[in-house]
Structure 1
């Protein structure tokens, strides 16, 4: 279980599992998490994972873009403020997504065991153009992998500036 330490002056938070993770309040992050043993998520599982990613949009985080690939997921998000006025820890956000989606996928597929690796990769985005570059990278991922001929064909992609505008 990760322990969180906060530097009250800088507002930075850190925690460690196998890799160290650092978080600054109210910054955007590029996050990737991978299935256990590179297990390929069937389409119904990708639907479930996307549903759980979207659940915390406008609650614990502001989601900019997400794509659920066959064996990993990419998100660009900005943690929202919690009741203390600090931003939600990335570890808490990811634990919610990964834990709830794992239980739901296991229930639907009548399986058990870990779906996600414990660790995830996170990178703090430093500038708006970095956000744009990472969003383009995330959106092009299914195309680069040869899963679709155009980005619009991929079912497990969510963009705040497209699908987010349709949400009521």
Structure 2
């Protein structure tokens, strides 16, 4: 059963199990925490945990210096619960790693539900190409913080 809009979903959007979503979440004050490879891996561990728990089936993700993009098929949960869990758990481990306290994430997130006719493979390629477009690397193989089931 769909979970009709919660405070972080855009107006008219609902969280629908089985639907494919693209999510973007940004660090607090756009702090480039993920320039540190090991800090980026802590976030990736949380994305993988969400999949292991059956909350999502990840299609691709990329962790950029100050945000991440994640394309997944939603399991039997709602977007708000999923993102709250990933952001909360990753904030705790990131703060422990950096021996600091305070906010890691901006509140909220951007979500896009892909329509049936959207080409998921092309959307995944667009997401993982973010480091190339941002000029962080010259070839994707040189960027360590991404994965995709299609590539």
Instruction: Give the TM-score, by structure 2 length.
Output: 0.89
* 1:105 paired residue number: 94
- What residue ranges of structure 1 are gaps of 5+ in the alignment? 1-7, 82-87, 163-168
The partner residue of 2:133 within 144, 157, 160 is 144
Residue of structure 2 in register with 1:48 after alignment: 42
Question: Which residue is 1:28 aligned to?
Answer: 20
Secondary structure of 2:5's match? strand
Q: Deviations over 1:61-107 (max 9, x none)?
A: 100001000000000011113xxxxxx10111111111111000000
1:1-168 to structure 2, matched below 5 A, reads 11=2, 13-17=4-8, 20=11, 21-41=13-33, 42-58=36-52, 59-81=54-76, 88-127=77-116, 129-162=118-151
Larger radius of gyration: 1
**Unpaired stretches in structure 2, ≥5 consecutive residues:** none
Aligned-pair distance for 1:45? 1.1
Distance across 2 between alignment mates of 1:114 and 1:104: 12
Q: CA deviation at 1:14?
A: 1.4
State the shift of 1:149 in Å: 1.1
Moved more, 37-46 or 127-136: 127-136
Q: Using the TM superposition, give the Cα deviation of residue 161 of structure 1 relative to its aligned residue in structure 2, in angstroms.
A: 3.4
Runs of at least 4 residues of structure 1 off by over 6 A? none
Do the aligned partners of 1:19 and 1:119 also contact (CA within 8 Å) in 2? no
Residues 31 and 74 of structure 1 are in contact (CA less than 8 Å); yes or no, is this contact kept in structure 2?
yes
Aligned pairs, number: 147
Q: Which has the higher contact order (CA 8 A, sep 6+)?
A: 2
Partner Cα distance (1:128, 1:61) in 2? 21
